[in-house]
Amino acid sequence: MRKIFLTIGLLISSLLVLESCKQTPKQMHLTGSTMGTYYSVKFLNNVVLPRIEEVHTEIDKRLALVNTHMSTYRKTSELSLFNQHKDRSPFRVSVDTAEVINEALRINKISNGALDVTVGPLVNLWGFGPEERPDRVPSDELIAQRRAMTGIRHLSVDGNNLIKTNPDLYVDLSSIAKGFGVDVIASYLTELGLKNYLVEIGGELKLKGMNAESQPWRIAIEKPNNAQQTIQEIIAPGDMAMATSGNYKNYFEVDGIRYSHIINPATAKPINHRMVSVTIVDKSCMTADGFSTAFMVMGPEDALVVANDEAIAAFFIVKTDTGFTEIASDAFKKYLLY
């Protein structure tokens, strides 16, 4: 009899183990601050991991390294030291910084100069950097002075060395570094063996696998409405990254005229067309981040031509006299759910 009880007990234990294996893995959620914004990391804990505190610490460590390399707010970062470098001699940087600047240079060419990571002095002049926001539009003289400090033609990369031919050149990677940070954390989660995750830094995303309901991740594109958060579209990016740029939140007004934080390198002034939001889907969040800014600068007509020519998945929200209209590139249409 005792043997029978033992056998039954073993069978019950085995069934419980099998049942526990069928249970949906627990979704973990880690948050924190980085690059002047927030980060959010969600993943299904379906592999053997280090303690969750160790994972959280490692995420913070890797994001801190990105800031150490590329922040313009840290005077001792690689990028800040390069900006202080006043001669043409090569300035050695990390592999990561060189990679991000190389991608910025590539996107600059594809976008016909729309993405220019040297426009930081102009961004600051217009009050969207560390300088105080102006109470009037900057004069043409001030704009010309700052413009003389810009120009991506003065910037090049040779291996891990940065070279500038204008001693006053100032590089700001805020239009692409968040996306790179997302890629860094996504790569770390993949290293851990995780197959289902969502990484977000300030609205830039990278996704893989399924959510806690065993469904593909779905992402809402926000309607450009300052009064309340509403949804314009819902998309299913799959195992891809996604970045959005817009000009409907960060701006100031003078004499009834709205000035966007996005500066057109060709005019040295804020953009003034009707595009209000750009969303890009790409394998690389760094690339998506850069193109979302570039296309915001270009405007809907020119951006759509480039997106279709280069098979870039791009989604535009454009203001009309009666509301908003949507424009999707050919490569983006497969992500739309409705």
Report the alpha-carbon distance of residue 8 to residue 14 in Å, rounded.
10
Distances (CA, A) of 48 to 143, 213, 277, 312, 331: 56, 21, 40, 37, 37
Reported in sequence order, the residue ranges of the chain that DSSP labels E, i.e. its strands, are: 27-34, 37-44, 91-92, 155-158, 161-164, 197-201, 204-208, 219-222, 231-235, 241-246, 251-254, 257-260, 263-264, 269-270, 275-282, 313-319, 324-328
Confirm if 82 and 93 have CB atoms less than 8 A apart. yes
Beta bridge partners of 330: none
Q: How far apart, in whole angstroms, are the C-alpha atoms of residue 39 and residue 182?
A: 9
177 in Cβ contact with 35 (< 8 Å): yes
The answer to whether the annotation marks 289 as part of a ligand binding site is yes
- Given a contact cutoff of 8 angstroms between Cβ atoms, the answer to whether 231 and 220 are in contact is yes
293 carries a ligand binding annotation: yes
State phi, psi for 45 to the nearest 5 degrees.
-80, 80
Has 175 been labeled as part of a binding site? yes
Pairing of strands 269-270, 37-44: unpaired
Exposed/middle/buried for residue 71 (C-beta within 10 Å: 0-12, 13-18, 19+) = buried
Dihedral angle at the C-alpha atoms of 268, 273, 276, 278, nearest 10 degrees? -70
List, in sequence order, every residue forming a beta bridge with 41; answer none if it has no partner.
30, 199
Residue with tokens 């999707």: 328
Whole-number CA gyration radius for the chain: 23
Instruction: Extract the annotated binding site.
Output: 175, 289, 293
Instruction: Extract the annotated binding site for Mg(2+).
Output: 175, 289, 293
